[in-house]
Amino acid sequence: MTAWVLSAALWFAFGCFGLGQLFCLYRVVFAPGLSDRVLALDTMTINMIALLTLFGILHGTPMYFEASLLFAMVGFVSTVAFAKFVLRGDIIE
């Protein structure tokens, strides 16, 4: 009976996070500094986690869980590696 509510909310969330990805992409391209660009890329991985989870809800499968966990880990490690390189000139000292 209320299936359309769930469907509409799901597509609303898809639209919101897709729009967020576009905003982040704008900030990646037109960034005033290096740290802004990396922050925007980090936000893109976070939005991507949300999009993959929404995809899992849409298809009713837990298959996309591994992909979103990988996105979370790789996003974190790459951001920390960038910051470490800027701060110390080396990633693994």
Partner 1 sequence: MTGIAEIVVALLLIVGGAFGVVGSWGLVRLPDPMTRLHAPTKAATLGVGSVLMASMAHSWFLLGRVTWHELLIAIFLFLTAPVTGLFIAKAHMHLSWDKRELPRPHRDDDWATFGDSAAESPMVRAPDPPPRSE
Residues that bind partner 1 (CB under 8 A): 1-3, 5-6, 8-10, 12-17, 19-21, 23-24, 26-27, 32-36, 38-40, 42-43, 46-47, 49-50, 53-54, 56-57, 60, 62, 65, 68-69, 72-73, 76, 79-80, 82-89
Q: Give DSSP secondary structure letters for 2-68.
A: -HHHHHHHHHHHHHHHHHHHHHHHHHHHT-SSHHHHHHHHHHHHHHHHHHHHHHHHHHT-GGGHHHH
What CA–CA distance (Å, rounded) separates 7 from 11? 6
The distance of closest approach from Cβ of residue 22 to partner 1 in the complex, given in angstroms and rounded to an integer, is 8
The distance of closest approach from Cβ of residue 45 to partner 1 in the complex, given in angstroms and rounded to an integer, is 10
The distance of closest approach from Cβ of residue 11 to partner 1 in the complex, given in angstroms and rounded to an integer, is 9
